[in-house]
Every structure is written in structure tokens, then in C-alpha cells.
Structure 1
Amino acid sequence: MAHRDLALEAAQDGIVLLKNDAGALPLDRATVRSAAVIGPNANDPAALNGNYFGPPCETTTPLQGVQRYISSVRFLAGCDSPACGFAATGQAAALASSSDQVIMFMGLSQDQEKEGLDRTSLLLPGKQQSLITAVASAARRPVILVLLTGGPVDVTFAKNNPKIGAILWAGYPGQAGGLAVAKVLFGDHNPSGRLPVTWYPEEFTRIPMTDMRMRADPATGYPGRSYRFYQGNPVYKFGYGLSYSKFSRRLVAAAKPRRPNRNLLAGVIPKQAGDGGESYHVEEIGEEGCERLKFPATVEVHNHGPMDGKHSVLVFVRWPNATAGASRPARQLVGFSSQHVRAGEKARLTMEINPCEHLSRAREDGTKVIDRGSHFLKVGEEDDEWEISFDA
């Protein structure tokens, strides 16, 4: 029994709420008398498994999960498979127009992405996009779109479509995935997942996969890779994820670090960096000096309600414009943690910051350095920042 509970917990915690216009989710069982479940990933147990998995003892598909909450559920696959070479668009639209609520389970499968099989497009395969759009247009209420994929997909069309009220990304959630998704859909679990990768637009696929440069090159139009260096407009950012509750975060003033001890850096001479500015070599600071530079970063999380829920805190470091350069990332993740917080209450999370590891960067020649001057700690996209100054 414990392994089943763990499978459910892991699936729930991994679900990311990407869109929730006008509070489309969670669904109210009292007002949803009938539901249409549409999509090739709705009732296929294999669609829940990633590339590496053991045979589960039992599996709950998304359709079965929804049926636990609503008695009147009609199902249509809509496509012959996730590849969606054929789509029953007219039939799906008719079903949508005669149901109180439509939930679509779309995405990918191991036939599109797995070890040894790379995708050449970030779009949903085949006729999925046209099917989703047609169903959304025919539905009485804004449609709920659930994506089962391993990697990112460009769903800009759904993000910008007002007839699609909410988007959930569930990854490949495993044996309890169907129940986990249903619990999120109907409000028995408050989603707290965050995207582990950047969701790039389809135009990003024009860049050869063999071009593995991380840093952007404005001269040639190369946009860079990863949240650290990408300068384009992502579909969704790394670390993005919504909740049914409103959370706020702030760096606790009483715990703000002071200027690093001058004595620790007194014997270290900053050197001119080839890409601008001055920096301290981590190797010269030494293991003992690096240990003594560590400090705690405490973040206060406030759940303004209306639901209890877990909240994930991501702490980034950014560099000021004065030290901006092609080799420096726009921002860099230095810590993350999560905490369950009851509605109306506050909680504090403390993470250790190691400047030699977290505030340093690798120069193009591979040397690990800490830039002289100011560094700023940020909590997600919040304006609240700590300034940490390195100056002997």
C-alpha cells in the first residue's frame, strides 16, 4: 500500500498548472453533470509510462480518474494514436457541444520521444492542434487541456485561446497518474509543480541539434540555450507553475547576509576578466575561505488562500548590468525547496548559499571565478532582492 501512496504523491507533486484563466480549475462536481473526455492519452495505460519503467501492479488511467468524480462521462479517443494521423474532429466537436465540461488528454508517447528517438518538431503531432481547436470552439465552457509528454511542446495556440480555460502538464505520471490528475482537476490536490525545463517555441528547432553552444550570439542571431542564456521568448519559462492559491514570497530582512568578510578576500587579488570587469579566482580563495563565506538565505512564504497547498521556492542569482557580458548567464538557480502551508498562514524556508559554488561562474576558458562587485539574490520573478557585494 505504501508504494501506491508514494506513486500517487510523486504524480501529484509533478503536475504543473500552466494556465488557469478565470479560475477554470478546480472543477466543481456539483455543477458538472456530464463530462466529455477526449484524447488518445485518456484511456491508454501505456501513455502514463516514461521511457524507463517497471510493470505496475495496477494503473489508473485519466478516464478512470475522472469517472471517480463524475458519473456521466462519455469518452472519445479523437485520434487513432498520439501521432494523430487521423482525427474524428466532427464527432469530437459534437460530443463537446453536448457536454457540460470537456477535458482533453493529448500530448506525446514513446512513439514520438524516447531513448534513441529525438523529435524534430516541438508542435503537437499530426492533427492534434486542429482537433483541440475545433473541440474548444464547439464546447459550452472553456476546455481543460491536459498534456502527457516527457519534453516541452509549443502550445502557444492553446495558451492564447480564450476557449481553452486551463492547461495542465502531467509529464508521464506513472501508475497513479490518472488519479493524480483527477485530484488536481477537482481540487482535492492543490498543484505545486514547476517546469524543470524551458519550453521553447517551434522556431527554436531551426537551430541544429549539433550546435550545443550555451551562450547567445547576437551577431549571428543565435538565441542561446537553457534558462540561463536563452534570449528568445519562451512559451513557458523554466520554473513556471501556477497554484489554486495566491502565494507571496519575500527574503527575510533579519537574515540578509552582510558584506562578505573583507579578511577572507584580503589576500586574494582580483584579476581582469577577459570579458570585462574584475573577478576573484575561486581556487585562490581556497577551500577554507569558501567554507567561511557560506551564509543562510531565508524566505518567508505566505499562503493568502483560498486553499492549503505546497509551494515551491526557487532562489536565483543575477548579475547587474554593470557586469553584464556574453559569458554571464542572465540568472542562475542557486537553491530550491518546498513547504506545505495552510491557507492564511506563513512559513519560512532556509537554504544555505555557498558563494564559491552558487555565485561563481565559469569563464569561457573554464576558470571558476566570483565577479567583483554586486550580486543579487532573487526569489523567482519577485522584485525583492538581496545585494551581496564582493570587494576586498
Structure 2
Amino acid sequence: MKYTGVPCQYSSPLDGFSAYGKVTYEMGCNNVTCDNKTFIMPAVEASKNADATILLVGLDKTVEGEGLDRNDLLLPGYQTELILQVIVASKGPIILVIMSGSAVDISFSKTDDRVKAILWAGYPGEEGGRAIADVVYGKYNPGGRLPLTWHQNDYLSMLPMTSMSLRPVNNYPGRTYKFFNGSVVYPFGHGLSYTKFNYTLRSSNMSFNIKLGEDIPYRDMEYYMANNTEKPPCPAILIADFSCKDHFELDIEVKNIGAKHGNEVVLVYSKPPTGIVGTHAKQVIGFKRVFVPAGGSQNVKFEFNVCKSLGIVGYNAYKLLPSGEHKIIIGDSPTSLPIDISFQK
């Protein structure tokens, strides 16, 4: 069964926006590769008289796809020049809509106050045009989260594409949100809404003193011996060595303090104890989407197995449970819930 194809009918972005008002359309680019500048000026002239300008840019399967590598993380051809010229000429607000299957470096527009909104539409289905217009006009309140990190273009010069390691190695930066700690365009899990949500974590501080059999050995780990970090006497245990039935629960109140109904994706991360060499900075251990009406609240409950949610993977690929103070982080909240792990024989 094929997972791509041409739909029987489809709604283009032009169709979607035309349903809301009068639209003056100009191509801007001759195609996705945008290798001809002659179409830019008509688009610039149109933006001078528009109450608002919607810029649709991005990629397609001629630029990215299975068996096809991109050369950089930038928009193809003169697309960036198109955006910059329209930004200067437009009298009204600018909405940038990006249609692509992967990240693009749009740092220049992210930091420009004249670009009032940026929407990543991916490659939408047959009703994608109407869906994009519904989001831009506020008929639908978006509640998505980025499933990947949007890197800056200079990330490509930091490591060879033949390096498959996720951890930092040989002076190369790490990969994915778990290991990369440099500047990005947008981080993994980023997403905005037309409303605002507040979280209240109702669970209390927790600790687990895990009892082990005499035949289960402690496992050593390497620590950074700096910033007063002390290596614990029993650093870790191999998770496969015992039956791990300990679990913890989280009860999170999600309150919509805005004026618009909306969906929120609650992301839960675990962060390992400070000082362990080579481990991840944090990892997703659970997520749930919840609808919260304006002014209302919803309780979201999670239950996690201690070993599955707090374990780390060592350099030899064995999964270990470190002792010490782990942390639970909800979304991008600056606060965290400590969970202390210790072992006893």
C-alpha cells in the first residue's frame, strides 16, 4: 500500500484564504527551487497595498525526500530574498507559512517584529489549504509541538554527516534535544497557542530506597568531579539485574488563563542526576493532549515506572538506573520535581 498519492480533490492555501476575504495572489517564485528572481517584484508590489500579507514558502519532494539529501538548512534559491523584500515593502502584518517535511533556518524572520506569526504546516493533506487558513484567521486554535529540533544552518559545519553518534564525540556536538546544547532556531517541543496555559504540579517530593538482593552488583559510572559534585558510593545498578516494580505518579492541573478554548500537549521530561559523564540532558517520558476551555482547567494524571522513566543508557549500551537526585520537568517550566533514588542490600 502506498502512503503518498494525489487526492481526488484538494483545498489549496489560496482556496482556504479566499473563503475568508479578497485575495490578491502573486507567485513570488517560479517553483520551489526559486531560481528566477523575476517573480519577486510583482509579489512585493502586491504586498504594498495589502491589509495583510501571507507568505507561503518551503520545500517539496524535489528538495527533500527518501534517497534525497539536502545541501543545507536554508530555504531554496531566492525564497529568502523574497521574504526580506516583502517584509520591507508590506504595509500590513506578515504571516509566514512554511510547508516542508523538515526544518529550515528562518532565524532572520523569527527575530523580525514585522513578521507577526510563523506557521509550520508540514505537508498537509487534501484539506490542508482550509486548515492553514482556519489557523491563521483564528477559527482553530493550534496546539502542536515540534517533534524535532530546528537547527541553525551552521550546525552542518559542526559535525560530519558520517558521524552517527548521538552523544558529543571528538569535539562534535551531540544530536537531538537529548544531547545538543547549542543555539537553535526552535527547540524540540516548541509550540504556541492563541491562549495561555498554566501548570500546577500537585504531586509531592518523592524518594525510593530500592532493596536489592545480595547477588546484584553495583555498577560504576564516570562523573565530572567539579562544582562540588560527589560520586555516590553506589553509583548505579543494571536494570536487567532485577525486577523493577517501583512507580511514581504525577497529577498536573492545566489551567487555561486566556480567552480562547484550546488544546495543550503536556510534555513530561526526566533529567538524570548532575555530574554523570556522557548522559542525556533530559528525555521525554510521557505526553498527553488535553482540551481546556477558556477559563477552565483539567487534571492530567501520569504513572511512570521508575526504571523505564529514570534509566540511562551507558556507553556499552546497557541500561542503568543511577542513584541520586533525578528531576521531573513539565514542559518548559523552570521548576522541577526531585526524585531521590538510593539502593539498599
TM-score normalised according to structure 1 size: 0.81
Aligned length: 331
Alignment partners' CA distance in 2, 1:138 and 1:146: 18
Instruction: Name the residue aligned to 1:362.
Output: 313
TM-superposition CA deviations, 1:170-218 (whole Å, max 9, x none): 111111111111110111111101100001110111222111111124x
Shift of 1:386: 1.3
Are the aligned partners of 2:195 and 2:259 in contact in 1 as well (CA < 8 Å)? yes
Are the aligned partners of 2:273 and 2:324 in contact in 1 as well (CA < 8 Å)? no
Instruction: Name the residue aligned to 1:295.
Output: 248
Instruction: Name the residue aligned to 2:167.
Output: 215
Shift of 1:57: 2.8
1:117–1:52 Cα change, 3 Å: farther
Is 2:85 the partner of 1:134? yes
Instruction: Name the residue aligned to 2:268.
Output: 315
Higher RCO (C-alpha 8 Å, min separation 6): 1
Alignment partners' CA distance in 2, 1:268 and 1:341: 47
Is 2:337 the partner of 1:386? yes
Instruction: Name the residue aligned to 2:51.
Output: 100
Shift of 1:269: 4.5
Alignment partners' CA distance in 2, 1:177 and 1:103: 15
Shift of 1:142: 2.5
- Equivalent residues in 2 for 1:242-281, closer than 5 Å: 242-253=192-203, 256=204, 258-263=206-211, 268-274=216-222, 277=231, 278-281=235-238
1:329–1:279 Cα change, 3 Å: same
Instruction: Name the residue aligned to 1:143.
Output: 94
Are the aligned partners of 2:53 and 2:90 in contact in 1 as well (CA < 8 Å)? yes
- Equivalent residues in 2 for 1:84-233, closer than 5 Å: 84-87=34-37, 88-206=39-157, 207-217=159-169, 220-233=170-183
Shift of 1:275: 5.1
1:248–1:264 Cα change, 3 Å: farther
SS of structure 2 residue aligned to 1:377: strand
Alignment partners' CA distance in 1, 2:251 and 2:124: 32
SS of structure 2 residue aligned to 1:272: coil
Structure 2 unaligned segments of length 5 or more: list them: 225-230
Instruction: Name the residue aligned to 2:240.
Output: 283
1:69–1:264 Cα change, 3 Å: farther
Pairwise CA RMSD of aligned residues?
1.8
Are the aligned partners of 2:51 and 2:93 in contact in 1 as well (CA < 8 Å)? no
Worse-superposed segment, 329-338 or 347-356: 347-356
Q: Among residues 27, 49, 53, which one is paired with 1:77 in the alignment?
A: 27
Alignment partners' CA distance in 1, 2:273 and 2:319: 19
Which protein has the bigger helix share? 1
Are the aligned partners of 1:251 and 1:385 in contact in 2 as well (CA < 8 Å)? no
Give the % identical residues.
Answer: 35
Shift of 1:270: 2.9
Structure 1 unaligned segments of length 5 or more: list them: 1-50
Shift of 1:267: 7.2
Alignment partners' CA distance in 2, 1:265 and 1:240: 43
For residue 251 of structure 1, what is the amino acid of its counterpart?
L
For residue 97 of structure 2, what is the amino acid of its counterpart?
V
Are the aligned partners of 2:218 and 2:237 in contact in 1 as well (CA < 8 Å)? yes
